[in-house]
Structure 1
């Protein structure tokens, strides 16, 4: 490798690192602005001013506000995946509904911590393209949540034409959305109601009793008793 080529590669790496840093700064600033303002108030000039860079630099990475919102949404989806990757508390799983309740507690906590996330996912002024992306990602999460259930229980045959776990997520989000729009966040009451609504829907396809193949025969009667008494849909 010649010295000229080596220098050129070093310059290229520095340029790429600087570009990634600027892009990250833009998204960080956008999050901060959305924590204080509504989605429809965000502008490229506003982001540029707060980031301390010329508008042309922001425009280079994100030619319109929707492009910033799409990038933020992708980051949110990554956070959703990380939340789902966290191990479940197996000692608290006595019924299939316990799996969904544990996951919903996590997602509600995440929503509550970030106004911009609630605005993007639950807000009434979210652009249609972002809503479509959210629905698509719900399907991805739904497939993973189904696998979470299959790791503990033998599921019955489920509809092939749609993902019941994805729809359950969307049902819960609809209830959370009502709370966000009325109260600015997800209240304890609406967090519970969102979970109940999702579980009531899933209860149309999952029976009260699902067998865990790893449970020993001498514990099966106790397990059945717990299953029958904790179901409230």
Structure 2
């Protein structure tokens, strides 16, 4: 008599399941709802119950993905940083660079435009009630951006010896952000006047290290 077990085909190993589309959609809905809430509420006013109501999903689902508000905000900040990186990925308009300061002017103009269009980003990065973890993450990300901005300058100009213990381009970004923060808190956005003041402030700092006339790189 034939052994049925011997004839049974071995079970194929089941592939590891990917995250379900429903879960990804809910996570995205939570983050999008938080962005919308930050259009009318400050960071300190946001609660997970508000987010659940805005996203039209059960509060338990929000807690499943983000047990605390801070975890939700930190994830949203990472998305803002990714958008900052994308902005910096855009090529510079070489034809508009006649002086080293034009590089920072172009970069700052992009970030100002982004901030002006996204209130949730202003409140997360420039707001008065910034979570300490977000503030630290912003500082670390500025360091990364500063390294990239230095590389942009090095592509065009022969830079003089610069301090090794800190990144002057990262500090310049932080100086500009401080001015934008004042504008956001006073006027609810970055006004054109304060945008120019932020650019002026970061360039004034950089001029302490970069001479007005730098030699161009040999191409």
TM-score (norm 1): 0.87
Question: Which residue is 1:134 aligned to?
Answer: 138
- Preserved CA contact (<8 Å) 2:87 2:111: yes
Instruction: Select the structure that is richer in helix.
Output: 1
Structure 2, gaps ≥5 residues long? 1-8
Q: Can you give the 5+ residue segments of structure 1 that lack an aligned partner in the other structure?
A: 216-233
Deviation at 1:18, TM superposition (A): 2.3
1: CA distance, partners of 2:131 / 2:211: 37
Aligned-pair CA distance for 1:22: 1.4
Task: Kindly indicate whether residue 171 of structure 2 is the aligned counterpart of residue 189 of structure 1.
Answer: no
TM superposition shift of 1:4: 6.8
Whole-angstrom distance in 2 between the partners of 1:4 and 1:181: 60
After TM superposition, the structure 1 stretch with the greater mean CA deviation from structure 2, 162-171 or 205-214, is: 205-214
Number of equivalences? 211
Matched, 1:108 2:112: yes
SS at match of 1:137: helix
Residue 206 of structure 1: which of 194, 210, 216 is its match?
210
Find the structure with the greater CA-based Rg: 2
Q: Which moved more, 1:146-155 or 1:46-55?
A: 46-55
For residue 214 of structure 1, report the CA deviation from its aligned partner. Answer: 3.6
Q: Residue 135 of structure 1: CA displacement?
A: 0.5
**What SS does the corresponding residue of 1:125 show, helix, strand or coil?**
coil
What residue number does 2:4 align with?
none
1:35 and 2:39 correspond: yes
Root-mean-square deviation (Å): 1.6
Query: Is 1:165 aligned to residue 169 of structure 2?
Result: yes
- 1:36 aligns to what SS in structure 2? coil
Q: CA deviation at 1:138?
A: 0.3
**2:158 touches 2:215 (CA, 8 Å); kept in 1?**
yes
1:2 Cα deviation (Å)? 6.2
Cα deviation per residue 1:15-52 (whole Å; 9 max; x = unaligned)? 43322221111101110111121111111111111212
Q: SS in structure 2 opposite 1:35?
A: coil
What is residue 67 of structure 2 aligned with on the other side?
A: 63
Q: Are the counterparts in 1 of residues 155 and 217 from structure 2 also a CA contact under 8 Å?
A: no
The alignment status of 1:90 with 2:94, answered yes or no, reads yes
